[in-house]
């Protein structure tokens, strides 16, 4: 569980840094899809926090419903949504660096594993 706690805090730290590096993501100046993404990420991080602490937060049915929704949302947000966003911005900003993409993919995969374990596999918490 300590590894999940470390992952939670490191992810929170990098999300704050990423937010400050991408100032166009100010909540009052964002597109609705970005606001939904912020909400989905916050709920997912809440699930990772609950797993790392071994606490019940909301209910198991909520997490079992949220996990598939999150699994559909993440590919949509990072493909379709970002492609339409990139059409609107300058050509020099169209691509992510390879390093940023690899780190982001790793963080997303770990978050998915944590959410799955919390919702389905970790029955000690829900007993």
Distance CA 74, CA 76 (A): 5
Digit-by-digit pLDDT tens for the chain (127 residues) are 788 888 888 888 887 776 666 545 555 566 777 778 878 888 998 999 988 888 888 888 999 999 999 999 888 877 766 665 555 555 445 455 556 667 778 888 888 999 898 888 877 787 7
Tell me, yes or no, if the pTM score tops 0.85: no
Helical H segments across 27-97, by residue range: 32-53, 60-76, 82-88
Give CA–CA dist 34/82, Å, rounded: 10
Instruction: For residues 119 and 71, give the distance between their C-alpha atoms in angstroms, rounded to a whole number.
Output: 13
Average pLDDT, the chain: 77
d(CA 13, CA 100): 15
All residues at 6 or more sequence positions from 125 whose CB lies less than 8 Å from its CB, including other chains: 50, 51, 54, 55, 56, 118
Q: Is 89 helix (H, G, I), strand (E, B) or coil?
A: coil
Angle (deg, nearest 10), helices 98-116 and 32-53: 50
Cβ distance 108 to 40 under 8 Å? no
pLDDT of residue 26: 57
């Amino acid at each position: 569980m300590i590894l999940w706690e470390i992952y939670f805090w490191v992810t929170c730290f990098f999300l704050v840094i990423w937010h400050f590096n991408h100032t166009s993501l100010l909540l009052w100046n964002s597109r609705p899809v970005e606001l939904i993404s912020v909400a989905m990420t916050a709920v997912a991080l809440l699930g990772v926090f609950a797993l790392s602490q071994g606490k019940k937060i909301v209910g198991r049915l909520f997490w079992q419903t949220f996990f598939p929704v999150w699994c559909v949302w993440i590919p949509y947000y990072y493909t379709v949504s970002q492609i339409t966003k990139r059409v609107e911005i300058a050509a020099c900003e169209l691509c992510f660096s390879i390093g940023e993409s690899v780190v982001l993919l790793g963080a997303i995969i770990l978050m998915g594993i944590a959410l799955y374990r919390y919702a389905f596999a970790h029955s000690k918490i829900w007993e």
